[in-house]
Structure 1
Amino acid sequence: MGSRRLASFSLASISGASSRKTSMAMLALFSKSQNYTSLLRLISTPRETVAGFDEMVAGTQRKHYMLGGKGGVGKTSCAASLAVKFANHGHPTIVISTDPAHSLSDSFAQDLSGGTLVPVEGVDSPLFALEINPEKAREEFRTASQGSGGSGDGMKDLMDSMGLGMLADQVMQFVESQQYNMFTRIVFDTAPTGHTLRLLSLPDFLDASIGKMMKLKKKLASTTSAFKYVFGKEEKQQDVASDKLEQLRERMAKVRDLFRDPDSTEFVIVTIPTVMAISESSRLHASLRKECIPVQRLIVNQVLPPSASDCKFCAMKRKDQMRVLETIMSDPQLANLRLVQAPLVDVEIRGVPALKFMGDMIWK
């Protein structure tokens, strides 16, 4: 399915019925949370390895989970369902979307775009959600960087990345603030693969780029000391901008340490059973390993269960998916990850009850 917030397969085709009446009956089941267990019994859930949710939920030390992968594979639904699962297991939780698409609002059926934490109702422990606006973050950096002395291609590259940089800076504010100490789980719904890789490599890039800018400024300051009286006002503006950049560089170093700490952070790759998606997931894991980002789990979403009907399309599609899943076992980047298969469902995963249902299927 094209939408990132959908995780679907045809229940009607599996049961051997395809009528409108059957579809409406399935939708009626989803309208009441107490019927999710009954609906689950109708699904022949595909075999999967141990997901290890007990390990994920154990302990009161704060832990961070980043979910990422190719666009349209269901990252947002998986992230939101994990956050709901944590909250229902006693962990005060924050789920933060760094994806410009703002699908998290759709998943929770709430407006989360205001830039502040929004409480999510219907869970056992406190759950708050937030969508970060990277465009706003980029504008804030552009203002901060004026007068810093940066120019040329290096500064352009820096500016191009700063929406992500300030986004990560905002994330660190939630991580470090005493106000949010009560939260023991923080879940990140990341942007598609390319943006995520830029974000993860950004701390090192900023460390080098801003460091060079600071050195250049010091050299210029020493050669223009005679003009301080004339250009004093401009120099003060440059000092303020430089201080902001230096603060950002320091925070990025903390982001880098957080991303690489296996005791407090885990990146979960989400994909679907297609050759293109698995290939991209393999490259993503290779890049994550290069950045020393800990990865343990691979979620394969939208997996068709065995069909009990005469649907030839369903049978061929499942056969193709099983062939793709076999390639994971032989992929040097993916073979050692914990494989979690998430079945396709033919309704939109939207709202806390639906997310709880999805989470009970995935996070076991």
Structure 2
Amino acid sequence: MLDGRERKYYMVGGKGGVGKTSLSSSLAVKFASAGHETLVVSTDPAHSLSDSLAQNVRGGQPVEVNDTDGMLYALEIDPESAKAEFTQFARATDMSGGARDFMSSVGLGGFADSIADLKLGELLDTPPPGLDEAIAIAKVLQFTKDEKFSKFTRIVFDTAPTGHTLRLLSLPDFLDASIGKIVRLRQKLTSATDAVKGIFGVGEDKQDDAVEKLEKLKAQVKEVRTLFRNKDTTEFIIVTIPTVLGVSESGRLLQSLRDEDVPCKRLIVNQVLKAAVTFCSVKEKDQTRALQMCEEDAGLNSLNRTDAPLFDMEIRGVPALKFFGDQVWR
């Protein structure tokens, strides 16, 4: 991981609460300490990267991390802004109930029904799952094309929980269908009278703008999906904890990643007890059972597994992350 020249992107993912942020941060610190100019990014809606680094890295721009000699930058991206952008232009093409009723009253009910059949309101009410993280990652890719930030040779993503990550891979297909609906609506409105267009409050230029934004969004999401599947430049690292639920979900995640051709060859089992303690005996038995599941699962057994110990202190700040990373990224 340190010596490779082509592999640049590392996606750290798994179910919520398994320590993805600590492991992402410690991997980024490890890269930076080895001489790689590194960027660590959180695309998880429930950010904790600032807490892990003991430094505020919010604000939407890469921030230099203290105590790393300028080799490590960090960034938290608010994925909710993606939903807001999507809703903004979905709203411009929505068929409101009031407009539909009025059109019916003036003898244009069939026209209103045909538009309503496109179900554009669904785009407004339920932005597609995974859209937020896809846009967050796309924005990072745009950052790295900026001359100021093109220096990074390692980019570590602290990703959203499992479901978000998988759903973003199917987004291009969803957006293809969405764009088709809006183009059909655009064609219908073009054939209508200016008065009917006024009911919607949407002119031709605004319609064209909405389609253009969707096309741009689709291109960004496709770029992210291509990045995930690039075996030369990208690696997905699964993180779990030694519980039956955690290991079971990791097995399903691995299968889904392989179905999508996402390169994955490492499994980190976090918070493993290393010493027998009387009051922890039950927990230790549970962990032993879960670790045995890792060995028996044909998919997980094929990964390069590392057991990360459970520490009796909070891992926070660069020195602690460096210590943690030395235990894990060996």
TM-score range, shorter chain: 0.7 to 0.9
Q: Which residue of 2 is the match for residue 16 of structure 1?
A: none
Q: Which has the higher contact order (CA 8 A, sep 6+)?
A: 1
**Structure 2 residue 296 is matched with structure 1 residue 334:** no
Matches within 5 A, 1:305-320: 305-307=274-276, 311-320=277-286
How far residue 228 of structure 1 moved from its aligned partner, in angstroms, is: 9.9
Q: Is the 8 A contact 2:270 2:310 kept in 1?
A: yes
**Greater displacement, 152-161 / 327-336:** 152-161
Alpha-carbon separation, structure 2, partners of 1:111 and 1:92: 19
- My pick for the range that moved more, 345-354 or 186-195, is 186-195
CA deviation map 1:242-289 (0-9, x unaligned): 111111111111111111101111110000111011011111111212
Q: Aligned runs of 1:76-155 on 2, under 5 Å?
A: 76-124=21-69, 126-148=71-93, 151-153=120-122
State the alpha-carbon separation in 2 of the partners of residues 230 and 148 from structure 1: 11
- In structure 2, the gaps of 5 or more residues are 95-118
Deviation at 1:97, TM superposition (A): 0.3
More divergent stretch after superposition (151-160 vs 259-268)? 151-160
Identity of aligned residues (%): 51
Among 182, 188, 209, which residue is 1:220 paired with?
A: 188
How far apart are 1:358 and its partner, in Å? 0.4
- Which one is further off, 273-282 or 226-235? 226-235
1:189 counterpart = 2:158 = yes
How much has 1:164 moved relative to structure 2?
3.4
Q: How far off its partner does 1:111 sit?
A: 1.1
SS at match of 1:133: coil
String of CA shifts for 1:209-253, please: whole Å, max 9, x gaps: 3342354245425634x6499769611111112111111111111
**Selected match of 1:282 from 237, 251, 255:** 251
CA distance in 2, matches of 1:115, 1:187: 16
**CA-to-partner distance for each residue in 1:5-52, whole Å, 9 max, x for gaps?**
xxxxxxxxxxxxxxxxxxxxxxxxxxxxxxxxxxxxxxxxxxxxxxxx
Note if 1:71 corresponds to 2:16.
yes
Q: CA deviation at 1:198?
A: 2.2
Contact 1:210 1:249 in 2 (8 A): no
Q: Is the 8 A contact 2:83 2:127 kept in 1?
A: no
Deviates more, 1:182-191 or 1:132-141: 132-141
Question: What's the TM-score, normalizing by structure 1?
Answer: 0.76
CA–CA distance in structure 2, aligned partners of residues 233 and 218 of structure 1:
10
Superposition map of 1:243-258 within 5 A: 243-258=212-227
Residue 271 of structure 2: aligned partner:
302
Query: What's the offset of the Cα at 1:155?
Result: 5.2
How far residue 92 of structure 1 moved from its aligned partner, in angstroms, is 0.5
CA distance in 2, matches of 1:67, 1:358: 16
* Counterpart residue number, 1:357: 323
Structure-to-structure mapping, 1:9-20, within 5 angstroms: none
Report the number of matched residues: 304
Counterpart Cα distance in 2 of 1:282 and 1:265: 20
- Equivalent position of 1:28 in the other structure: none
RMSD: 2.4
1:293 is aligned, of 262, 266, 282, to 262
Secondary structure in structure 2 of the residue aligned to 1:57: coil
Post-superposition offset of 1:135 = 1.9
